Amino acid sequence: MSKDHLFSSYDQLSSTWDEMYSSNSEIREQYDMIIDYLKNTSKKTLSKKEELSKQLFMSQGVTFTVYSDNEGIEKIFPFDIVPRIITAAEWDKIERGIKQRIKALNLFIKDIYNEQFIIKDGIVPADLIYSCPNYLREMKGVKVPHDVYVHIAGVDLIRNNDGEFYVLEDNLRTPSGVSYMLENREISKRLYPGILPRNNVRSVSNYPNLLYKKLQELSYNSNPNIVLLTPGIYNSAYYEHTTLARLMGIELVEGSDLVVKNHFVYMKTTNGLKQVDVIYRRVDDDFLDPLEFNAKSVLGVAGIMAAYRKGNVNIINAPGTGVADDKATYVYVPDMIKYYLGEEPILKNIKTYQLGRPDELQYVVDNIRTMVIKKTDGSGGYGMLMGHEATDEDIKDYLDNLRKKPENFIAQPILKLSTAPCYINGQLSPRCIDLRPFALSGKDGIDICPGGLTRVALKKGSLVVNSSQGGGSKDTWVIQ
């Protein structure tokens, strides 16, 4: 192997699952073809491909703008040219597992905002729900079209050193990243001519059509007016909003384009007001309606919640789904699956300690070097403590703060995220990755786009894949 310059610095992390190498350092079959291609391509050509991918992102406008000193600078999310490959068998389990999970979570949300059987039956404690900041009283008893709350979910999975996929987060609010799934594939087509068809890579390009179909089904109107509500041009996911609107052929609207009259939502057009039937909103619950939530919000529309409760407009995802993807609720998902579906969970949860419980808190404090602590309502990789790399002082400060409201925190053992080969400085190096497949629910069931977004922690040894903290992404191939 030493003669292969490309691999000469591939130092596998200890007791970590590597997507390309098996435990006895043989290349897994699914990686054969791409590795063969990479081996037979000069370093110069590969570096050119890497450069090309950057240029493509820029010229296609797949960027976000960072503003400083009144000057906007276009940035791209880093992209690694080596695809992440998933076999048909692995995908089959992921797909079944996510479908099962989303089905149960959707039933849970419906139950929580209606009869609350799961609380009455003592499976989930009532105070967990009522103390959850993402629980919306405004949703109580609201009849939701076809009982679908979670139309779009982006479930984060990681692969532990046992080779099993674990669910890290369910992301049931407004998960982003799907446009990168689509764009990464378009780039791969240009980087590796002929390789995708020879690998029988499953196509992802149908996602916008599928999403449109799901949105359309949700309206009782046969030709509904569907819009995508964006917080606006300064949002870092604005590229995604414009892309999805364009690919679905629907209108991209901002809060100020909409108005509510007599409990109907309208958009302001050049020939008057036009009724809106379905709103795929990329605005958080909190900003959706200044009359009911954050009064200072200018991103939403006053009166939209009242129109929603009257059934005059459909909001995607339904407000209040955050009650089910809260990190404290996460612990109960396996129980929900058993309770609502009478099935064993297909995908595993990560062992999670609820720090509101004194015994679990004590255990975590005793084993803090092997734990990651998270705020239950946090996201984006912020507000976390990684026990293995924190200083004593960090730990002390964090715990002091935590003890004020321990029920707002959970802890999990630091898992070994699997690694995948990345092309870094002219060589292949292992980097930690996760996987976010996108699941779409409609009145006829759940569909999952084969693959999803693989996020990668580009910093050596880092476990944080979030784009805001040095993460990048890879194209994800489900083969056969």
Name which position in 104, 191, 229, 252 contacts another protein (CB under 8 A).
Answer: 252
Nearer to another protein by Cβ, of 50 and 251: the residue is: 251
Q: Looking at beta carbons only, is 89 or 298 nearer to another protein?
A: 298
- Nearest Cα to 299, choosing from 286, 318, 309? 286
x/- map, 159-188, another protein, by CB under 8 A: ------------------------------
* Residue 58 near another protein by CB under 8 A: yes
Q: Which residues contact 342 (CB under 8 A, 6 or more apart)?
A: none
DSSP character at residue 414? P
Per CB under 8 A, 60 contacts another protein:
yes
CA 164/CA 69 separation, integer angstroms:
47
Which of 2, 40, 42, 271 forms a contact with another protein (CB under 8 A)?
Answer: 271
Cα–Cα distance measured from residue 287 to residue 299, given in angstroms and rounded to the nearest whole number:
6
Tell me the C-alpha distance between 98 and 80, whole Å.
26
CA distances from 331 to 11, 162, 321, 337 (A): 35, 21, 16, 12
Strands of 262-335 (E only): list them.
264-269, 272-275, 278-281, 314-316
How many residues lie near another protein (CB under 8 A)?
A: 30
Binding mask 384-423 for another protein (x = CB under 8 A): ----------------------------------------
CA–CA dist 155, 175 (Å, integer): 9
Tell me the per-residue interface mask from 202 to 241 with another protein, x by CB under 8 A, - otherwise.
-------------------------------x----x---
The C-alpha angle with vertex 448 and arms to 450 and 90, in degrees rounded to 5, equals 50
Token pair of 168 as six digits: 């890290």
Minimum distance from CB of 259 to another protein (Å)? 8
In angstroms, the CA 63 to CA 77 distance is: 7
Would you count residue 257 as binding another protein (CB under 8 A)? yes
Q: Give the residue, chosen from 195, 273, 384, 395, that forms a contact with another protein under the rule CB under 8 A.
A: 273
Residue in 186, 217, 251, 335 binding another protein, rule: CB under 8 A? 251
Nearer to another protein, 256 or 362 (CB): 256
Confirm if 441 and 425 have CB atoms less than 8 A apart: no
The answer to whether 453 touches 181, Cβ cutoff 8 Å, is: yes
Q: Give min distance, CB of 178 to another protein, in A.
A: 16
Binding to another protein (CB under 8 A) within 61-100 occurs at 61, 70-72, 74
Query: Where along the sequence are the contacts to another protein (CB under 8 A)?
Result: 58-61, 70-72, 74, 233, 238, 242-243, 245-246, 249-254, 256-257, 259, 267-273
